A and B are shown apart, each in its own frame.
Chain A
């Protein structure tokens, strides 16, 4: 089982709650995925408190752990204040830290990310940083107090899947004891299975499920893929080879000529 900040999580899939066709489909997708953690955000309340309260009632009924994010923050100050506001609303120290550096690519501002991670870690937060696959940035985040890393595998919402597998493999090899969660860029269950086969501890995704033709079916499919990939990693896969090798024994083969 996956353990993060002293909490044991049965599922290795973390699921976002945005962009579903309806609240009911969101709830069904969360259940079908088997996820133990859902991500949420804080946004301007425009209905006197009722919009947030309604959404919160839906989420809390799901019984999963909550991971608030700082999505859309472009500066250290914005991200830190949003994290503190999330802590007040949700009463917990977990924060998915996003400091966005570019409007178009939604690439993290890794310099601001490290700075914000340090401020929040020192303030008692359990920081889940949305980062790149850069090893030096990863080291700086760990020095800043992070205990888990969440590299992208492709830009947010792109559905490209792992575009740089050697970089992900290298990250896994460099940080064998740090929980690594692929966050962003997954498009289909085979992508999730691929990164789990590389030994990643979990995946976090949203758009690939929420925007599927059948989000509930896709949530279930991702749940299975994550489990399959993880079990395959633990079971020791064959290395590919370029020559054929018979699987049926050649010994005892009949000779008819």
Chain B
């Protein structure tokens, strides 16, 4: 399935958000995820099923003003 992850088009076999993070080697407590512009809570990632064309944002703390 084709997904847009942090602006990049990827071909992915993972079907849930948690599986996607694992497949892309994301780990740690300092991540926030959104699918199609809506927050997906950490606790809901395992049961959140992805669909072809979904836009996923994976964010973490950075410098800011």
Residues of A4-62 at the interface with B, using a CB-CB cut-off of 8 Å, are: 16-20, 26, 39-46, 48-53, 55-56, 59
B3 to chain A, nearest CB (A): 14
A16 to B62, CA, bound (A): 11
B33 neighbours in A (Cβ, 8 Å): 85
- Partner-B contacts on A (CB < 8 A): 16-20, 26, 39-46, 48-53, 55-56, 59, 68-69, 71, 77-78, 81-82, 84-86, 88-90, 156, 206-207
Contacting residue for B59 out of A18, A44, A56, A206, CB 8 A: A44
B53 to chain A, nearest CB (A): 18
Contacting residue for A39 out of B28, B38, B41, B65, CB 8 A: B65
Are A81 and B31 in touch, CB under 8 angstroms? no
A195 to B6, CA, bound (A): 40
Are B6 and A44 in touch, CB under 8 angstroms? yes
Given known pairs A45-B31, A81-B39, A88-B42, the reply for A69 and B60 (CB within 8 Å) is no
Are B64 and A68 in touch, CB under 8 angstroms? yes
Offer 12 A-B interface pairs, CB within 8 angstroms, sorted by A: A18-B64, A26-B63, A42-B32, A42-B59, A52-B28, A52-B30, A71-B64, A77-B37, A81-B38, A88-B42, A89-B32, A207-B65
Are B61 and A56 in touch, CB under 8 angstroms? yes
A45 to B60, CA, bound (A): 5
Are B30 and A49 in touch, CB under 8 angstroms? yes
Q: Look across to chain B and name the residue whose beta carbon is closest to the beta carbon of A23.
A: B63
Q: A18-B65, A53-B60 are in contact. List 15 more A-B contacts (CB 8 A).
A: A16-B63, A41-B61, A41-B63, A42-B60, A43-B62, A44-B57, A48-B27, A49-B26, A49-B30, A52-B60, A53-B29, A53-B30, A56-B61, A88-B32, A89-B61
A194 to B57, CA, bound (A): 42
A82 neighbours in B (Cβ, 8 Å): 59
Are A71 and B26 in touch, CB under 8 angstroms? no
A71 neighbours in B (Cβ, 8 Å): 64-65
Q: Look across to chain B and name the residue whose beta carbon is closest to the beta carbon of A184.
A: B65
A253 to B64, CA, bound (A): 61
B7 to chain A, nearest CB (A): 7
B19 to chain A, nearest CB (A): 15
